[in-house]
A = this chain, B = another copy of it.
Amino acid sequence: MSSGASTGKRLYSGEIARAALAILDAEGLDALSMRRLADEVGIGTMTLYGHFRSKDELLDAAVDIAADDFEPPRLSGPPRRQLRLYMHAVRAWLLRHPTIVQIRGQEPIVRPSALRISELGMQLLLGLGVPARDAAHAFRLLFTFVFGSVAFSPAEPSAQLRRATAAGVLALPPDEFPALLEAAAGAAAALGGDEPFELGLEVLLDGLEHRFGSG
């Protein structure tokens, strides 16, 4: 059972998928190639195909391992607070494995490993008072928001990026872009990071309570 690439001994598929996930987390989707992974793990490239039929299947296995890493929040307080804790936990999980949002892209998630995370969210929505027939739509909205936040906003926009954005907006011709310039001060703050996520989440929860629930 003493594993390790350096021994050159037999590997379990899980160990390989774990190594793949490590590359994905550290360097992103483009950095993961079959040749490099095989090298890093100490086997011939083609041996990977004995464990996974294709790179896609390898990615699925990596996503499964990432799913195990989801940390369910300690739930307490009113339903709305629980839902908020849940959304923060999902975002934190995605930020630990940012390539998941790229990998999933268009195709819907049907793996049980990931659906366990959805199950928890659905339970909370029902607890918030959303009728069962609307819960799927409400969940879809929350899902779109967290995944979209991670996909389209930098987790920690650097001061330099904030400055560059502000400068870029301020350089626009005022007659063509009056509204953007009026809101320029806020634009840098809304660029990414925690603040826009948290504010957006509250707006979403307001909307969900107003339309569906009593909270």
User: Which A residues contact B (CB, under 8 angstroms)?
Assistant: 102, 104-108, 110, 112, 115-116, 118-119, 122-123, 125-126, 132-141, 143-145, 147-149, 151-154, 157, 161, 164-165, 168-169, 172, 176-180, 182-183, 185-187, 189-192, 195-196, 199-200, 202-208, 210-211
Contacts and interface: CB of A to CB of B under 8 A. Distances in A.
A195 B196 CA distance: 26
Contact of A108 (B132, B176, B177, B192): B192
Contact of A190 (B136, B190, B192, B210): B136
Given A115-B172, A115-B180, 14 more contacts: A102-B105, A105-B151, A108-B191, A115-B177, A116-B177, A133-B183, A137-B190, A139-B190, A141-B203, A144-B145, A148-B148, A151-B151, A206-B206, A206-B207
Given A135-B186, A139-B190, A140-B153, A210 B206 contact: yes
Contact of A116 (B118, B161, B176): B176
| Interface of chain A: mostly helix, strand, loop or mixed | helix
A166 to B, nearest CB: 11
Nearest to A28: B106
A71 B122 CA distance: 37
A104 B115 CA distance: 27
A186 B104 contact: no
A152 B141 contact: no
A143 B152 contact: yes
A149 B154 contact: no
Contacts of A144: 145, 148-149, 152-153, 200
A154 B186 contact: no
Given A154-B108, A179-B123, A210-B206, A186 B145 contact: no
Contact of A147 (B110, B148, B192, B210): B148
